[in-house]
DNA sequence: GATCTATAATGAATCGATTCAACCCGCCGA
DNA sequence: TCGGCGGGTTGAATCGATTCATTATAGATC
């Protein structure tokens, strides 16, 4: 049925080794032969079998990437950055969506391991470190993205979430708000915990300021809407006067829910700031203040580190890259329209 | 270095064939042996090599999906639907991003073919049919998504774009607008052409109505912003009084650009309707009217068809599934706030 | 002409899981 | 006692590209 190197070799009247060389080391083959083999390939419609190639090579030319939510533009951009860098080196990126579920995360890691991927990028949920240790022990390096590690055994590329949380809360305080709320979850996500910690630090510095913590089950528009409904249904006096949402999806959901029936005005009654600065934040009902992260750069850099580690092997020095977040002020916290 | 079936067989004191059977046909092996082999697998940390498996099997257990823009939530949802159905049958989905570029599209199709994927789902750009014919001839079935085909050789799952375009334009006309503009591109995309055709049909039915066509180079927020800047910079009298954008990303970009410096009011000066009804449309500066498509269902159904075709082989009857679009009215065309 | 070098080309061995024809062995029925 | 049956198990053959030690050829040098 399918055409293989042997068929090509026969038609071009050369050996299989030569066909292989034409595809992988054309400089080792005379130009005339190259041409003849390529003609044969074309006329037979030969497509090389990657499985056989991989089997021999011992590992694939793919990288695995596990994200928390593929529908979140932040991760879409991160993935794009990763893909770009990978493609420059001839690698492919397989994207798996954990949906913040440990079992799905595990499933993709298993899959990637069976595929003998060159390495794994992961935005981990909960404590995936033991599993990653296992991978590493079997020769598959891993880099954590969007999440720092104290663990010296792994490289990571992330943004200083504590600093970002501080920036956000400090900004809310600077515009005179005192009864802040933090909306986010799950608390299994380090990003969320760190952003909250930063916010708490900022609040502690200002006398009379408080920070209520409203935990959500995920970082989605839906979860934001639910939290927003709860807040809207409170007596006006019990509502916070500012909300820091752990990401922009939550913030968008909050925004929709709060403004329903014109119950709450943003930023009048409640100032709102998100996190990630996704493209849609600027186009929101009330353009959303946010904390910008270099999403594409994170992916790009992570692949860089991963490939270096795969190359250098055991004597690779793990690196913890930490980018700094940036405050973007828009109308949702009283900034002028852009 | 790596552990293989032979090692497992040795430790469990059975043959390699038995190890394989434990993994693939446990019913053919006595319970005691199964247990012994599984112990050996666990204690050695054996992970089966998918490349070897695939080589023997002749094809992988993956499906390829080529989308026009992975950052577009419409395709993110479509991919999720596809993944869900695929996972139910034990398949994996590899997602490739063509970015509306023929060469990237070709690259991913090549890649998928080398990987011997079970089948391909594709939202094609331009005329990919010949290439798909080639794939099919070599045994890889393909299903077109988000795009109908007259071609009987392929299944397709799409939404009636002509009807959707008609719905959108008719709605704009029904609220009294007469000087419509269609913003979209590239015209190599059948979706865009069909939506435009539907709009033209609606406009032709109303005396005194006109439709200007403003072509963009892609269906992105950026392209929308550029088109919006152009329109904003026109003399007020030369601006259309309603715009139908070929998708929501364009519409969001248009919205941002038009409202800059409060130059143009939406829907006052210009009514605006998008297409796809992505989650962010509802949360836009001015909540966006749109044409809703069952994105997740499209992906789900497409995988369904693809797997059936892969199963049945040559005697499979190709099916053209056509969903109907739905008009969603919001403030950007004067609908009441929800 | 003999010797050496550089360049091309060869093809058997290899990667690891799966398959399948052959085999083993205990047991039943004749 | 023997043939037959069938659940378990075996292990060589297989998938297809790549590698590498070996061989062949042409050209250069003395």
Q: Where are the domains of chain A?
A: 5-48, 59-159+295-324, 161-293+327-333
DSSP at B327: E
Q: How far is A207 from chain B, CA to nearest CA, in Å?
A: 35
Which CATH number is associated with domain B59-159+295-324? 3.40.50.2300
Longest dimension (CA), chain B: 87
pLDDT at B151: 81
Q: Contact, B313 vs B306, CB < 8 A?
A: no
Q: Express as a percent the part of chain A with pLDDT over 90.
A: 80
A299 Cα to chain B: minimum distance (Å): 14
CA atoms within 13 A on the CB side of A296: 9
HSE of A324 in the Cβ direction (CA atoms, 13 Å)? 3
A143-202: per-residue pLDDT in tens?
999 988 878 889 999 999 999 999 999 999 999 999 999 999 889 999 999 999 999 999
Give B263-319 as a DSSP string: -S-TTTT-EEE-SB--GGGGGBSSPPBEEE--HHHHHHHHHHHHHHHHHHGGGPPP-
| Residue ranges of chain B with per-residue pLDDT less than 70 | 1, 335-338
The minimum CA-CA distance between B169 and chain A, rounded to whole Å, is 24
- Secondary structure (3-state) at A192: helix
B92 and B119 Cβ atoms separated by less than 8 Å = no
In the prediction, which pLDDT does B194 show?
95
CA distance B198 to A198: 53
Which residues of chain B neighbour A221 with C-beta distances below 8 Å?
279, 283
* Residue pLDDT, tens place only, A18-64: 999 999 999 889 899 999 999 999 999 999 999 999 999 988 999 99
Same fold flag, A59-159+295-324 and A161-293+327-333: yes
First to last CA, chain B: 62
Separation CA B184–CA B201 (nearest Å): 17
Q: pLDDT tens across A246-273, in order?
A: 999 999 999 989 988 888 998 899 999 9
* Residue B253 with chain A: CB contacts under 8 Å: 283
Is it true that the peptide bond before B327 is cis, omega within 30 degrees of 0?
A: no
In terms of Cα–Cα distance, which of B184, B196, B193, B186 is closest to B248?
B184
Least CB–CB distance from A50: residue in B114, B139, B280: B114
C-alpha span between A9 and A144 (Å, rounded) = 45
- Cis ω on the peptide bond leading into residue B267 (within 30° of 0)? yes
**B15 CB inside 7 Å of strand D:** yes
Looking at residue A337, what is its pLDDT?
43
User: Per residue in B196-216, pLDDT tens?
Assistant: 999 999 999 999 999 999 999
Q: Where are the alpha helices (DSSP H) in chain B?
A: 5-12, 16-24, 31-44, 50-57, 73-88, 102-114, 129-137, 161-174, 190-204, 221-232, 248-259, 295-312
Tokens of A238: 């019990």
Q: What is the pLDDT of residue A336?
A: 54
How does residue A283 score in pLDDT terms, banded at 50, 70 and 90? confident
Which of B47, B255, B338 faces A114 most closely, judged by CB atoms?
A: B47
**pLDDT score at A25:** 92
Taking an 8 Å cut-off on Cβ atoms, the answer to whether B52 and A47 are in contact is no
Q: How far apart are CA B267 and CA B265, in angstroms?
A: 6
β-strand pairing of A119-122 with A142-145: parallel
3-state SS class at A317: coil
C1' (D24) to CA (A163) span, angstroms: 69
Q: What is each CA distance from B269 to B206, B250, B265, in whole angstroms? A: 20, 18, 5
Nearest CA among B157, B162, B156 for reference residue B132: B156
- Would you tell me which CATH number, out of the four given (3.40.640.10, 3.40.50.261, 3.40.50.460, 3.40.50.2300), belongs to the domain B161-293+327-333? 3.40.50.2300
Inter-CA distances, B8 with A67, A134, B31, Å: 33, 18, 17
In whole angstroms, D26 C1' to A37 CA is: 22
Nucleotide nearest to B16 (CA to C1'): D11
A320-323: strand order across its sheet: A92-97, A62-67, A119-122, A142-145, A155-159, A320-323
- The candidate with the shortest Cα–Cα distance to B108, out of B158, B64, B167, B49, is B64
Nearest residue, CB atoms, B71 vs list A80, A285, A338: A80
Which nucleotides in chain D have some atom under 7 angstroms from a protein Cβ?
7-21
Which secondary structure element, helix H or strand E, spans residue A179, and what is its range?
strand A179-184
Tokens of B201: 């049909």
d(CA B130, CA B127): 7
Question: Any idea what the Cα angle at residue A310 is, between residues A309 and A316, rounded to 5°?
Answer: 30
Query: Which of these, A188, A12, A194, lies nearest to A105 by C-alpha position?
Result: A188
Question: What is the mean predicted confidence (pLDDT) over A213-241?
Answer: 94
CB nearest to A138's CB, from B47, B139, B280: B47
pLDDT score recorded for residue A338: 40
Q: How distant, in Å, are the alpha carbons of A124, A173, B85, B327 from that of B297? A: 29, 45, 10, 17
Residues of chain B neighbouring A287 (CB-CB closer than 8 A):
285
Comparing every residue's Cα with the C1' atom of nucleotide D15, the nearest one is B56
For an interface test with B, give the residue of A23, A44, A50 to mutate (most B CBs within 10 A).
Answer: A50
Please tell me whether residue A206 adopts helix, strand or coil conformation.
coil
Query: How far A209 CA lies from chain B's nearest CA (Å)?
Result: 30
CB B201 within 8 A of CB B229: no
């Amino acid at each position: 049925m399918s055409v293989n190197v042997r068929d090509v070799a026969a038609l071009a009247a050369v050996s299989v080794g030569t066909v292989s060389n034409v595809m992988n080391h054309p400089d080792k083959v005379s130009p005339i032969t190259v041409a003849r083999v390529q003609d044969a390939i074309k006329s037979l419609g030969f497509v090389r079998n990657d499985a056989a190639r991989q089997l021999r090579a011992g590992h694939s030319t793919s990288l695995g990437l596990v994200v928390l939510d593929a529908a979140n533009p932040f991760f879409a951009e991160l993935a794009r950055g990763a893909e770009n860098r990978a493609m420059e080196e001839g690698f492919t990126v397989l994207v798996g969506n954990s949906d913040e579920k440990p079992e799905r995360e595990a499933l993709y890691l298993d899959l990637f391991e069976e595929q003998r991927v060159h390495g794994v990028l992961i935005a981990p949920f909960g404590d995936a470190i033991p599993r990653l240790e296992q991978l590493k022990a079997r020769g598959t390096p891993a880099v954590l993205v969007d999440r720092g590690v104290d663990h010296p055994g792994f490289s990571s590329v992330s943004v200083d979430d504590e600093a970002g949380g501080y920036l956000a809360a400090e900004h809310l305080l600077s515009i005179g708000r005192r009864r802040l709320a933090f909306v986010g979850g799950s608390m299994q996500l380090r990003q969320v915990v760190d952003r909250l910690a930063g916010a708490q630090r900022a609040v502690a510095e200002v006398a009379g300021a408080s920070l209520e913590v409203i935990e959500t089950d995920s970082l989605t528009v839906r979860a934001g809407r639910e939290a927003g409904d709860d807040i809207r249904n409170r007596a006006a006096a019990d509502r916070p006067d500012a909300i820091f949402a752990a990401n922009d999806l939550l913030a968008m959901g909050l925004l929709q829910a709060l403004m329903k029936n014109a119950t709450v005005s943003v930023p009048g009654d409640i100032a709102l700031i998100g996190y990630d600065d996704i493209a849609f934040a600027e186009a929101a009902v009330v353009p959303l203040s946010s904390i910008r992260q270099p999403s594409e750069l994170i992916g790009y850099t992570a692949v860089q580190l991963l490939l270096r580690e795969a190359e250098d092997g055991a004597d690779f020095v793990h690196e913890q890259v930490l980018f700094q977040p940036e405050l973007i002020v828009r109308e949702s916290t009283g900034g002028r329209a852009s």
